[in-house]
Amino acid sequence: MSTIRTRAAVVLTAATAALGATLSPASAAACSTAWGSLPEALADRGGGTLDDVRAGRHDCYDRLVLDLDGIDAADVSYDVRYVGRVVQDGSGHPVPLRGAADLQVVVHTPAYDDGRATYDTRHDAEAVAVSGYRTFRQVAWAQSFEGTSTVGLGVRARLPFRVTVLDGPGGGARLVVDVAHTW
């Protein structure tokens, strides 16, 4: 009987050590989030112009940034939510996205000023290169219409996200959408 207990203890110790090596409390705690996947919106005045859309990779999340010129962070108006399908502003045409979930990012800021485009839309379907990202699968431009601009974000799964508005660069603001790598 003691041989069985000894073997069981050895197996349990080895399993615990192996698990500890792959799931260290420090790395798990570093990526814990209190985010959710419900819509986040802030209705304000809007204004300014959309000048750029870019993305970045971080240890715990992928980040999408919309650069807005001529507007203070306090005046940014947005609506970010998971949808069944992202559609183009104005036309209502579907915007096909890679990934298992579609995150629609709407900012109440046009991508034009006096009829002149302020955001280069030559690569609508691939607005930002996200190949190799852990969570993002595709960033697509979904047009700007009547003072509102929409970006479609194809995501690996319906994962938690957060929305932040930051000052800068220069005389503008940034709408930041972080999508976590895991729940």
pLDDT of residue 114: 85
CATH dotted code for 40-180: 2.60.40.3500
87 has a pLDDT exceeding 80: yes
21-41 per-position pLDDT tens digit: 343 344 545 787 789 999 999
Cis peptide before 169 (omega within 30 of 0): yes
pLDDT averaged over every residue in the chain: 85
Q: What single DSSP character describes residue 107?
A: E
For residue 69, report the phi and psi dihedrals to the nearest 5 degrees.
-105, 145
- Is this structure's pTM higher than 0.85? no
Contacts from 28-32 at CB under 8 Å and sequence distance 24+? 30/59, 30/60, 31/59, 31/60, 31/180, 31/181, 31/182
Smallest CA-to-CA distance from 104 within 136, 79, 121, 75 is with 79
Sorted by where each begins, the domain ranges of the chain are 1-30, 40-180
Q: Among 24-38, 118-132, 158-172, which is the least confidently predicted range?
A: 24-38
pLDDT of residue 81: 98
Residue type, 118: T
